[in-house]
Structure 1
Amino acid sequence: MGEFILFGFHHAGGSIAAFSGWQRALGPQVEVVPVALPGRGRDGRSPRYRDLDTLVEALAQDLGSGLSGRHVLYGHSMGALVAYRLTRLLARRAQRLPEKLIVGAFGAPHLRQSTGATEDMTDSELLRWLVDTSDIHADLLGGTERLAVMLARLREDLRIIRPRRPAQDIEAPLPCPIHVFTGTRDPLVDRAAAAGWSRHTSAGCTVHAIPGGHFFPRESKRDFFGELRSVLHGESALTPNVYG
């Protein structure tokens, strides 16, 4: 059992497999708990959650006692927004907050931003988007059946996170620090969008630039996990930018 729990929230179209190897990389002091988001059944859909608010409410209940002890949240891409909204819900309920909110590959939530993909795109358009953002050849994404499930999951996730709030709607800053991980070659998140997270915390915001694109944890494992370990246990190994 680790000293604290790291709850991991995966990217749109992904699964808990995104956190494969994290426990080994982070060591026994951290208990890595990947969180399965909706739409992970065989048909790639979920009848329970059709919007982000409902999803976050369910997550708060499902994670239960894990959130009452020492914990950290890490969310990647879509998962970053989920982790942020879960933290907001905990704050509104005056419940224990994560010791650190760590977000990766996602711009500040108050900004009008686009992933470049929507649930209305065709399978071929979504596939092209996946290839363009992940630097993976289409042939490596799996066979026809596996690919169909992945695209269905992606389409459902994009529907859930569709923006529904005006860009200027910013709640009071969170009293927990935010660490922002961003890929140096990410086509979806620029440095300004990453730095914008500073508006959402009164406890300091640190931006960590990792070599790679949108999926830098997979592309630059040594750099990413080295920096993440430093964030979890103490001082940053790189020279980060601190805001707030």
Structure 2
Amino acid sequence: MRLFVFHHAGGSPAAYFGWRRQLAGETEVVPVRLPGRGQDGRSPRYHDMATLIEALAEDLGPDLEGPHAFYGHSMGALAAYRLTRLRARRGERLPDRLMVGAFAAPHLFHGFHHTRRSDEELKDWLLAMSATPTALAALIDDSDRLSSTILARLRADLGLCAGVRETEPASPPLACPVHVFAGTEDPLVPVADAARWSLYSDAPTTLHEIPGGHFFPRESKAIFFRTLRSALRPVCNC
């Protein structure tokens, strides 16, 4: 069983390296590197979500023929959903589970409007998303160079999401089960908005409320991974 994981805005595949240890022996964790973003973080980027997802489908296509699941967090949830939707339109294999975290149902998402803020304002906004801002601030402020890189990446990713608009649930609904993870203290994504993912699939949709803010996998690690293993177990028989 392979679990493809899609990072949040401003993040990178490194955000999921610890997941390999958490799920060792149960699931192969595959952190997804978005097209147009090299390891140096300076590669040319895509500027609209549709084009990025087309490229992502080409990159991952050969790896999605066997049993697999998607987990996307925040912007990553949008990318995982859009990739699933594209593969459904093409008649290709869907994930055994689509798992989305810290993201409202797409028709309730109205973009992120923070790309024109100063670095300090953007950083303050990011810290407000966390129930443990001190730990997150330490990560961002590890060095001036790292802080600048993270904020530049965040600004670009927020701009990528800003152009996404869905006014109603897409039709036809997906045929795969959906697991929705929502932080009980997330100021950006109310649990009620996350619950509306139930409109996006004909298969069962399960809502998991996790203590914490927008970055609840880090804030409530034990609870989150216990819940994630439970969500994966019917798929991987582990």
Q: What TM-score, normalized to structure 2?
A: 0.91
Distance 1:139 1:33 in 2: 27
Match of 2:219 in 1: 219
Q: Relative to 1, partners in 2 of residues 1:196 and 1:166: Cα closer, same or farther, differing over 3 Å?
A: same
Q: Does the CA-based 8 Å contact 1:45-1:153 persist in structure 2? A: no
Deviations 1:91-116 (A, max 9, x none): 0000000001000000000114455x
Deviation per CA, 1:156-199: give whole Å up to 9, x if none.
Answer: 10111114434236321100010000111111111211111011
Task: Write out aligned runs for 1:41-120 (5 A).
Answer: 41=38, 44-115=41-112, 117-120=113-116
SS for the counterpart of 2:230 is helix
**Contact 1:43–1:149 (8 Å) recurs in 2:** no
Q: In structure 2, what is the Cα distance between the partners aligned to 1:33 and 1:181?
A: 19
Q: Which runs of 5+ in 1 are unaligned?
A: 236-244
List gaps (5 residues or longer) in structure 2. none
For residues 106 and 71 of structure 1, the distance between their equivalents in structure 2, rounded to whole angstroms, comes to: 21
Fraction of identical pairs, as percent = 56
> In structure 2, do the counterparts of structure 1 residues 46 and 172 end up closer, same or farther at CA, with 3 Å as the change threshold?
farther
Q: Does 1:130 align with 2:126?
A: yes
Q: Is the 8 A contact 1:44 1:150 kept in 2?
A: no
Cα distance in 1 for partners of 2:65, 2:211 equals 34
Residue type of the alignment partner of 1:89: L
Equivalent in the alignment of 2:5: 8
Greater helix proportion: 2
* Higher deviation after alignment, 161-170 or 196-205: 161-170
Is the 1:74–1:101 contact (alpha carbons within 8 Å) kept by the matching residues of 2?
yes
1:64, distance to aligned residue in structure 2 (A): 2.5
Given that 1:210 and 1:220 are in contact with CA atoms closer than 8 Å, whether structure 2 keeps it comes out as yes
Moved over 2 A (4+): 37-48, 112-115, 134-140, 163-166, 168-171
Relative to structure 1, is the Cα distance of residues 152 and 129 closer, same or farther in structure 2, using a 3 angstrom cutoff? Answer: same
Is the CA contact (8 Å cut-off) linking 2:104 and 2:196 kept in structure 1? yes
Cα deviations by residue, 1:57-84 (Å, 9 ceiling, x for unpaired): 1111111221111110000000000000
Q: 1:33 aligns with which of 13, 27, 30?
A: 30
1:90 is displaced (CA, Å) by: 0.3
Q: CA deviation at 1:18?
A: 1.2
CA deviation profile, 1:33-90 (whole Å, cap 9, x unmatched) = 0001256457745424111011111111111221111110000000000000000000
| Residues 66 and 72 of structure 1: CA distance in aligned 2, closer, same or farther (over 3 Å) | same
Q: Which moved more, 1:160-169 or 1:192-201?
A: 160-169
Distance in structure 1 (CA, Å) of the matches to 2:100 and 2:128:
22
Bigger drift between 33-42 and 82-91 goes to 33-42
Q: Is the 1:38–1:46 Cα contact (8 Å) retained in structure 2? A: no
Per-residue CA deviation, residues 134-164 of structure 1 (Å, 9 max, x unaligned), is 2333344121110100011001101111144
User: SS at 1:110's partner residue?
Assistant: helix
Cα RMSD, aligned residues only: 1.9
